[in-house]
């Protein structure tokens, strides 16, 4: 404060106010840095035990833990259940896996997608001595379409409906993957629809090896993906499940949506980047139905891709996160930069401009005192009466009185004392004027 008072001539109250303002700015920046830190815990809704969603969740949990982020995994009944939990206002869920195409008629205003992370093929197994070439041939049979809350059931019912199957004489059963597989193997069912959000790998292997059980080949795949844009066409190579036994015995065409990683709006941008970094490590490898580097991908569906995700897909991690191994240290430095750089961009120009503005205002005060002084000095050279001399002396007194009330900082002391010297000079000149009866005055030389 003493520096402000001496340099700028502030009063103690004004100097205190300026100092307090800068302290408050710094404190607000510090509070923002602390409060803007990402949470250390995320809650994910996955899927049933043994499902691909649950396997994904386990992988995410392990990799996030290496970055100091705890992932709480909440099992669910599948994609529809996940969507409902993400939509529920008082739910604690932050992110979840969702089958694309399910949110077509849902309110997704509060959700964002981080992109698609994998294909989700639809597996249709059936018991028949002959090959079924169209889903319409399932009419009148006993068909398990998936458990309530699963994406399997929603997609199965949509495809069956497109083939004219909506109910009796066809028996549609809402069974989970294990019960459906057991029923098909025991001959209690004629066909089952399965997907990775509800079926385990072991269940699929048991069915592919089952006696008299066949895997449906989507011969009409091109027609399905044109009618349902969220579906993809996939080719399962011959021998993919068992090379020795050559299972399946021929290439099989499958259709299915992609799996999206969906989050609530407001997910911290740093955690969004970290999740996508982990997704690249988990899903970026070549697998049975996908090429290396194909996922994660910014594929638009019903839920819009978040701005943070779009930025990540375009440019990847920022420099600090690439240069510093620790996620939390990089995030802290990033937040400090975000807080400090704008502050410096405002404060530094202000610090440069304020002294200039202040100097100009002080000089303006001094110049205002010179205006009447110059006028008085000019009049001192002209013919003056006694009355006019007295008026001018009174005016110089008023100027002196005004100057005595001008407050200037110590840095302007020389200009202030020069002004007072000029005042004294003009006063002496006026006092030496000798008025005459002829209404003229001369200055004593």
Least confident range from 3-12, 162-171, 233-242: namely 3-12
Confidence at residue 355, expressed as pLDDT on a 0 to 100 scale: 67
Spatial separation of the C-alpha atoms in residues 8 and 359, rounded to whole Å: 8
> Which stretch of 258-267, 269-278, 326-335 has the lowest confidence by average pLDDT?
326-335
For residues 202 and 6, the model is more confident at 202
- What is the overall mean pLDDT for the chain? 86
> Model's pTM, two decimal places?
0.71
**Contact partners, residue 164, CB within 8 Å, separation at least 6:** 136, 139
Residue 301 has pLDDT above 70, yes or no: yes
Q: Could you tell me the pLDDT band of residue 7, with boundaries at 50, 70 and 90?
A: low
pLDDT value, residue 43: 96
Of the listed ranges 123-127, 178-182, 368-372, the one predicted with least confidence: 368-372
6: pLDDT strictly greater than 60: no
Mean pLDDT calculated for residue range 286-301:
89
| Sheet strands (E) in 228-302 | 232-236, 252-256, 258-264
Can 23-115+263-317 and 121-256 be said to share one CATH topology?
yes
Q: For residue 323, is it left (φ>0), alpha (ψ between -120 and 50) or beta?
A: alpha
Mean pLDDT of 278-288: 91
pLDDT digits (tens, 9 = 90+) for 61-102: 999 999 999 999 999 988 889 999 999 888 899 999 999 988
In which band, very low, low, confident or very high, does the pLDDT at 58 lie, cut at 50, 70 and 90?
Answer: very high
| pLDDT tens-digit map of 206-229 | 999 988 899 999 999 999 999 999
Residue 441 has pLDDT above 60, yes or no: no
Q: Find out whether 170 and 159 touch, Cβ atoms under 8 Å.
A: no
Scan for tokens 């995700």, then name that residue.
309
411: tokens are: 């840095």
pLDDT at 444: 46
For the chain, domain boundaries: 23-115+263-317, 121-256, 337-443
Predicted confidence at residue 288, as pLDDT, reads: 83
Look at residue 439 and tell me whether its pLDDT is greater than 70: no
Instruction: State in words which class domain 337-443 has.
Output: mainly alpha
pLDDT level of residue 15 (50, 70, 90 thresholds): low
Residue 191 near residue 125 (C-beta atoms within 8 A): yes
Asked if the model's pLDDT at residue 443 lies above 50, the reply is no
CA-CA distance, 118 to 176, in Å (whole number)? 22
Angle ∠(136,142,145) on CA atoms, nearest 5: 75
pLDDT of residue 351 exceeding 70: no
Query: What is the percentage of the chain residues whose pLDDT exceeds 90?
Result: 45
| DSSP tag of 290 | B
pLDDT of the residue at 445: 41
The percent of the chain in helix, strand and coil, each rounded to the nearest 5, is 50, 15, 35
Q: Which of residues 159 and 14 earns the better pLDDT score?
A: 159
Q: Which tokens belong to 435? A: 């008025």
More confident residue, 338 or 232: 232
pLDDT band at 440 (very low <50, low <70, confident <90, very high): very low
In the prediction, which pLDDT does 436 show?
A: 57
Examine the pLDDT at 437 and tell me if it is beyond 60.
no
Topology (CATH level 3) of domain 23-115+263-317: D-Maltodextrin-Binding Protein; domain 2 (3.40.190)
Between 378 and 73, the higher pLDDT residue = 73
Task: Give the contacts of 370 (CB within 8 A, at least 6 positions apart).
Answer: 419, 422
pLDDT tens-digit map of 41-57: 999 999 888 888 999 99
pLDDT at 118 over 50: yes
pLDDT value at 9 more than 60? no
Q: What is the pLDDT of residues 171-202, one digit of tens each?
A: 999 998 999 999 999 999 999 999 987 788 88
Give 75's strand partners. Answer: none
| Mean pLDDT, residues 320-333 | 82
Smallest CA-to-CA distance from 106 within 306, 258, 302, 305 is with 302
Q: Which fold has domain 121-256?
A: D-Maltodextrin-Binding Protein; domain 2 (3.40.190)
| Separation in Å, CA 2 to CA 7, 8, 11, 284, 416 | 8, 10, 10, 62, 21
């Amino acid at each position: 404060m003493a520096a402000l008072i001496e340099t700028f001539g502030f009063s103690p109250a004004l100097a205190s106010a300026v100092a307090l303002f800068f302290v408050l700015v710094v404190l607000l920046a510090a509070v923002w840095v602390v409060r803007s830190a990402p949470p250390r815990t995320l809650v994910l809704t996955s899927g049933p035990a043994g499902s691909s969603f649950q396997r994904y969740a386990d992988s995410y949990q392990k990799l996030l833990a290496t970055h100091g982020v705890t992932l709480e995994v909440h099992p669910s009944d599948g994609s529809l259940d996940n969507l409902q939990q993400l939509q529920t206002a008082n739910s604690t869920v932050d992110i979840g896996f969702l089958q694309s195409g399910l949110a077509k008629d849902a309110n997704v205003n509060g959700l964002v997608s981080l992109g698609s992370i994998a294909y989700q093929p639809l597996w249709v197994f059936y018991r028949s001595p002959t090959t079924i070439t169209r889903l319409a041939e399932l009419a009148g049979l006993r068909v398990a379409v998936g458990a309530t809350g699963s994406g399997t059931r929603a997609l199965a019912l949509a495809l069956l409906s497109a083939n004219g199957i909506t109910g009796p004489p066809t028996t549609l059963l809402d069974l989970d993957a294990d019960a459906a597989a057991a029923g098909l193997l025991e001959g209690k069912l004629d066909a089952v629809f399965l997907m990775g959000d509800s079926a385990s790998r072991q269940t699929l292997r048991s069915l592919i090896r089952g006696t008299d059980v066949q895997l449906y080949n989507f011969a009409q795949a091109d027609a399905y993906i044109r009618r349902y844009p969220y579906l993809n066409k996939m080719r399962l190579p011959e021998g993919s499940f068992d090379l020795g036994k050559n299972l399946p015995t021929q290439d099989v065409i499958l259709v299915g949506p992609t799996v999206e990683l969906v989050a609530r709006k407001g997910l911290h941008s740093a955690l969004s980047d970290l999740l996508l970094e982990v997704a690249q490590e988990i899903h970026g490898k070549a697998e049975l139905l996908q090429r290396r580097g194909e996922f994660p991908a910014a594929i638009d569906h019903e839920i819009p891709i978040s701005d943070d995700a779009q930025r990540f897909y375009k440019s990847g991690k920022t420099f600090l996160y690439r240069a510093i191994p620790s996620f939390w240290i990089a995030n802290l430095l990033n937040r400090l930069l975000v807080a400090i750089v704008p502050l410096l961009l405002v404060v530094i120009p202000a610090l440069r401009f304020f002294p200039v503005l202040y100097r100009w205002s002080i000089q303006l005060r001094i110049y205002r005192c010179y205006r009447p002084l110059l006028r008085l000095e000019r009049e001192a050279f002209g013919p003056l009466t006694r009355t006019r001399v007295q008026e001018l002396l009174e005016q110089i007194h008023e100027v002196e009185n005004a100057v005595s009330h001008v407050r200037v900082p110590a840095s302007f002391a020389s200009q202030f004392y020069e002004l007072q010297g000029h005042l004294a000079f003009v006063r002496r000149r006026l006092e030496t004027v000798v008025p005459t009866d002829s209404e003229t005055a001369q200055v004593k030389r």
